[in-house]
Amino acid sequence: MTEFLPTTAQELTHRGWRDADIIIITGDAYIDHPSFGAAIIGRYLEAAGYRVGILPQPQTDADFLALGKPRLFFGITAGNMDSMINHYTAQRKIRTRDAYSPDGQTGLRPNRATIAYSQQVRRLFDNVPIVLGGIEASLRRIPHYDYWSDKIRNALLFDAKADVIVYGMGERAILELAHTAASGKDIRTVTNIPGTVVITHDNPGEKDIVLPEFSKQTAQQDFWKTNVLFFTHHRTSLLWMPFAGRYLKHNPPAKPLEQSVMDEVYGLPFCRAPHPRYGHARITAFEQIKNSVTAHRGCFGGCSFCAIGAHQGKTVSSRSGKSVLKEVREIASDAHFNGEISDIGGPTANMYGMSCSLGISEQCTRRSCLQPDICPHLSRSHLPYRSLLRKCKNIPGVDHLRISSGIRHDLALDDTGFIKDLAQHYTGGLVKLAPEHASNRVLRLMNKPSFDLYEKFHHLFSSYSKQIGKKQFIVPYMIVGHPGSGMNEAIELAVYLRRNNIKLKQIQEFTPTPLTISTLMYVTGKDLDGNNIHVPRGRVMRLQKALVQWFIPGNKKLVIEALKMAKKSRLVHLFYPQ
């Protein structure tokens, strides 16, 4: 029977261990499931022969001391989300629930958890090496804009006083660090591991890229240059940033996992459940994904507001069909299985099995394989994904199979058979798509496909649904307030929604998050090419949101104000007929 990784001294003793080689600290509740980064890294290191313990959501000194001192190093992650996004809304208001904590309880992780945990460990354990990882560390690995303090902050490694950042999907880098430490070498002296960021007294080479030195006085004016250099070169070159007599050294990404390694990772012995310490508490994030399967990683879409490219990379690493089918059978054999597989996908569901035919996706300078047009070297058949879904659907015990991951509708138009399969088999009546906006000007800045492709997909899906006698709908995800969206563009979106009587209860207000091109635009008012763009802020943002939610009674005055501001008062009767 699979055991959870130890979280207490008693659990260490139960395994016959005096101490742990590596202790992982996480801002999430400990859920031993392959959708949670701390569990994956812990199980991967365990499979390599290391004794791994986990400290979930520690708060007091006693919590941090619960497993003692690790033999090799501490690994620290804020969890599956950036802790500030986890805590605050786009209006900087405190959220009332935490989906990654038992019973939604808030306050179980600190703000900027990676920094807080690292400083606590440094205080309590002094000279033990500290390795940072997870989404928060990954996206704050160079100087970055922090929306919640409205400041450009230095690279996380300096603020956290840690030793190494493992960025992206960290299996290769963390295992190499573990092997290095186990050999008796101090990991703080090793500065060249792909997928890591370190602080060093070494100097850059002639062909390396040097970022502007971080300074509170010049951070704003250097931000555009820093980001342009990063997005242009981070996949292929060494990046260096001088600071306080030392350098931040950013190594190129670790090589994406081959299919055999992906199969190995997702075939590890997970308990697929929260740790028993939580009793009958409900953890929303687990409930949402417990019957889902990750089929692949990476995304070559290159959306400006999305950090997946900077985190997971644009190379899609796919598991074998055999591996996915094995996991689905395991889920279906569980006595508590409800008959529904909630998802088989990844960052973008219908990228499964797709790849660069030239094998140069990581070196290629295109940040998107789909924009401004689909690269001719992209092998983009949907047949492997369609075949996989069909086989999974036919596994005994599986009554329903859904696709909950995002679908790239421009890519899906390559294979109308996939759209037909989606309508017939893989949706429960509502399909969530992300056209993001109706204005092509804004979509270009978002690096998203033109709106007519969304409408074409919508037409095909609706037609297929009607043919098979199903009443099904597409719920579009839209963003208001994205850089480049003026009042005219917001009205264009609102008019589309009003004319089609689409009443969106959930609208995403653009929130600047670290290490995205959209955040660069928000901070500087410039795109990657240096062109000036409009950035909506304050009341303008509120008016844009009111426009697309015109049907809410309290928004009428705001809609009228927005139309008047854009000198389009003639459209009032479209929204509010007499």
Nearest to 457 by CA among 518, 414, 396: 414
Q: What is the pLDDT of residue 128?
A: 97
Q: Which residue has the tokens 């940040």?
A: 367
Return phi, psi of residue 492, to 5°. Answer: -60, -45
Class of domain 291-409: alpha beta
Strand (E) or helix (H) holding 498: helix 487-499
Tens-digit pLDDT profile for the chain (578 aa)?
A: 789 999 999 999 999 999 999 999 999 999 999 999 999 999 999 999 999 999 999 999 999 999 999 999 999 999 999 999 999 999 899 999 999 999 999 999 999 999 999 999 999 998 999 999 999 999 999 999 999 999 999 999 999 999 999 999 999 999 999 999 999 999 999 999 999 999 999 999 999 999 999 998 888 889 999 999 999 999 999 999 999 999 999 999 999 999 999 999 999 999 999 999 999 999 999 999 999 999 999 999 999 999 998 999 999 999 999 999 999 999 999 999 999 999 999 999 999 999 999 998 888 989 899 999 999 999 999 999 999 999 999 999 999 999 999 999 999 999 999 999 999 999 988 898 999 999 999 999 999 999 999 999 999 999 999 999 999 999 899 999 999 999 999 999 999 999 999 999 889 999 999 999 999 999 999 999 999 999 999 999 999 999 999 999 999 999 999 999 999 999 999 999 97
Q: What is the pLDDT of residue 53?
A: 98
What CATH code is assigned to 429-578? 3.30.750.200
Q: What is the pLDDT of residue 94?
A: 95
Please report which residue ranges of 312-361 form alpha helices under DSSP H: 321-332
> HEC states along 194-236?
CCEEEEECCCCCCCCEECCCCCCCCHHHHHHHHHHHHHHHCCC
Q: Strands 22-26, 73-77: parallel, antiparallel or unpaired by DSSP? A: parallel
Q: How far apart are CA 87 and CA 136, in angstroms?
A: 13
Q: How far apart are CA 534 and CA 316, in angstroms?
A: 34
Q: What is the pTM of this model?
A: 0.95
The three-class DSSP label of residue 391 is helix
Q: Which residue has the tokens 């994030």?
A: 285
Q: Strands 196-200, 246-250: parallel, antiparallel or unpaired by DSSP? A: antiparallel
Q: What is the pLDDT of residue 477?
A: 94
Domain boundaries, the chain: 9-250, 291-409, 429-578
Q: What is the pLDDT of residue 363?
A: 86
Q: What is the pLDDT of residue 270?
A: 97
CATH topology for 9-250 is Rossmann fold (3.40.50)
514 and 508 Cβ atoms separated by less than 8 Å: no
Q: Which residues pair with 32 in a beta bridge?
A: 273
Please report which residue ranges of 500-576 form alpha helices under DSSP H: 517-524, 538-548, 556-565, 572-575
Return phi, psi of residue 456, to 5°. Answer: -65, -45
Q: Do domains 291-409 and 429-578 have the same CATH topology?
A: yes
Q: What is the pLDDT of residue 2?
A: 87
- How many alpha carbons fall within 13 Å on the CB side of residue 562? 30
Nearest to 132 by CA among 108, 107, 112: 112
Q: How far apart are CA 551 and CA 571, in angstroms?
A: 15
Dihedral of CA atoms 507, 231, 373, 255 in degrees, nearest 10, equals -100
